Structure 1
């Protein structure tokens, strides 16, 4: 079973999320909190596998909560649920330690699968967020090659498009284990620990010479 905690200040949304996930297979609710401060008092005891966090909370923000608790719960995976698709908020959340980012308007039928994907090592993102990341990557200026193998470069392209590990395996016509091997080698070469760090590291301001990016398309 996947233990899920919810941090959401809107009581209606909070109740709907808890009720929906309680009916989903393989998921069990371990803590429902109305603020970052309330979550800080309960997350250690709840010991969730996945934490769903709204960004706009009373008091501390959801990003502050992720930044503070990501190191304290190293085995937990944090996923943002929000109405905001602002690029600064997206990257702030990812840099704080979020491994997934879903817009609330895209939730019906998607959330339970996204939680399972997150727990299995993926990084689920709403299609709009994936397009935003791709756009930011494409705006980055090119950098010298760091010696990525062709299959590693191909995998990086797929990750930048927000595809799951299974989707990467299907498109690359290989097994999930092979994808995971490529990912491990890719992360070692980039000195990162997640797809979002890889994308952020290969993204730079257009025209910038001080922060150059590795091209993601061939």
Structure 2
């Protein structure tokens, strides 16, 4: 049986290529908010310059709206909601937190409050259930991710005997599959749990 470490070295070019692809896609997703900010910032400045030339008040208001939209970097809030978010006691932390869990919360104005979008998230027991399930998913993902390095002590002998008949290529593909799927499951579950916690803290900090 070829050692897993040897298989990893043999297929490391493919692993690095896959990793590079994932990193590239991840960067594109992360920095999309920066592109939104830059586009809206330019629009705000351009419209304000038009306002100074024409004196049209609606252009001034539009320039402000684009400016607010640039700072909050969202696509669905109203002008009043953005204004409420920007005038909170801790606008920097609130904006960053809301951006991370905006799919879970909506904003109520006067006073600023954050409300659950989905009815089921209003129930504490449901949120705790989701966290428990995601913790189990994380455990499974972490187990699969580390399995290629701990298979000799974590896998039953009966399973090892079946794997032993695989070709070196199939063993390598199985290793890559376990690492990829396990890593994705672990990261996805952590992301779900962290966003629920961020949303809970955001609501708690603005309960009047």
Larger Rg, first or second structure (1 or 2): 2
Q: TM-score range by the shorter chain?
A: under 0.3
Larger RCO (CA within 8 A; separation ≥ 6): 2
TM-score (norm 2): 0.24
TM-score (norm 1): 0.24
